[in-house]
Amino acid sequence: MDRPNGLMAGKRGLVMGVANNRSIAWGIAKALADAGAELALTYQGDALKKRVAPLAEELGAFLAGHCDVTDETTVDAVFAEVESQWGGLDFVVHAIAFSDKDELTGRYVETSRENFRKTMDVSVYSLTSITARAEKLMTDGGSILTLTYYGAEKVMPHYNVMGVAKAALEASVRYLAVDLGKQAIRVNAISAGPIKTLAASGIGDFRYILKWNEYNAPLKRSVTIDEVGQSALYLLSDMSRGVTGEVHHVDCGYHTVGMKAVDAPDISVVKDS
Ligand SMILES: NC(=O)c1ccc[n+]([C@@H]2O[C@H](COP(=O)([O-])OP(=O)(O)OC[C@H]3O[C@@H](n4cnc5c(N)ncnc54)[C@H](O)[C@@H]3O)[C@@H](O)[C@H]2O)c1
């Protein structure tokens, strides 16, 4: 594959959260590989391995194994594999979240204890558990990046417990940035605008949310996984070496807007087909 700018030449990193070629993690992995990084990818279970293996091959990446973040033995195995292949690590992408889709609709107040725990475990604690392992391999500094959403800051329809989880994730970014700063390990987040992915399809009325963003974001469109990938490249490379604890919005500017644009049409909920 062509390596146009070599910004990441000599850097090795683990990308966690590719499910298919629509995943945000895939957009990030492509941008990193294009910039000359060596990559390792994880997958969640055999069903996704079938999709992730050819994608890894496309980028010349190796598969670091199955990872279910609720099973710490799988997380340990992935980091052991990375250590045995590379001996060290320069960056990690954490693009992992989960909540029961039955609770990503209707009222937040009806969130069950079980799904609250599961959502927090998979979508929030996993960043801390992965960072703790990455720290040991980042002997020469490093950069860790996670993915969040504006629903952490403002109430979004149906985002519910995932919004609460993303708020906790963004707070984790700040605490981890302080813990790891002395070792020149940086921890940041990209707050991406809505993108149609497997995870997003679980959110109620997602097409409506996407349309609303397209009509009302300053750039009058929604963001792509390739654009998130380019911004991730900045945060994972030495270009951002003075940046940590940051939540960077890559959302076509939607977070700056206070109300519906006067020229945006009034739209009603469009049901997913
Ligand atoms: N799509 C959007 O609109 C959007 C916007 C902002 C932020 N995000 C965030 O981006 C990240 C990536 O999501 P995506 O939209 O690319 O969807 P996706 O479905 O492509 O990726 C989600 C990934 O999470 C992984 N995952 C879920 N539970 C896991 C577990 N227990 N152990 C290990 N991995 C697990 C899945 O295997 C999958 O690879 C998520 O954190 C999501 O919240 C998405």
The per-residue pLDDT for range 14-51, each reduced to its tens digit, is 999 999 999 999 999 999 999 999 999 999 999 999 99
- Residues serving a catalytic function are 149, 159
- At 136-176, the pLDDT tens digits run 999 999 999 999 999 999 999 999 999 999 999 999 999 99
Binding pocket residue ranges, ligand 1, CB within 6 Å: 17-19, 23-25, 44, 48, 67-70, 95-98, 122, 147-149, 192, 194-195, 197-200
- At 189-226, the pLDDT tens digits run 999 999 999 999 998 899 999 999 999 999 999 999 99
Name, in order, each residue with C-beta under 8 angstroms of 106's C-beta and a sequence gap of 6 or more: 158, 160, 204
pLDDT of residue 78: 98
Q: Best mutation site among 69, 147, 191 for ligand 1, i.e. most ligand atoms within 8 A of its Cβ?
A: 147
pTM over 0.95: yes
CA of 19 to the centre of ligand 1 (A): 8
ipTM, two decimals: 0.99
What are the b/e assignments for 81-107, b being 16+ CB within 10 Å? Answer: bbeeebeebbbbbbbbbbbeeebbeee
Would the annotation count 267 as a binding residue?
no
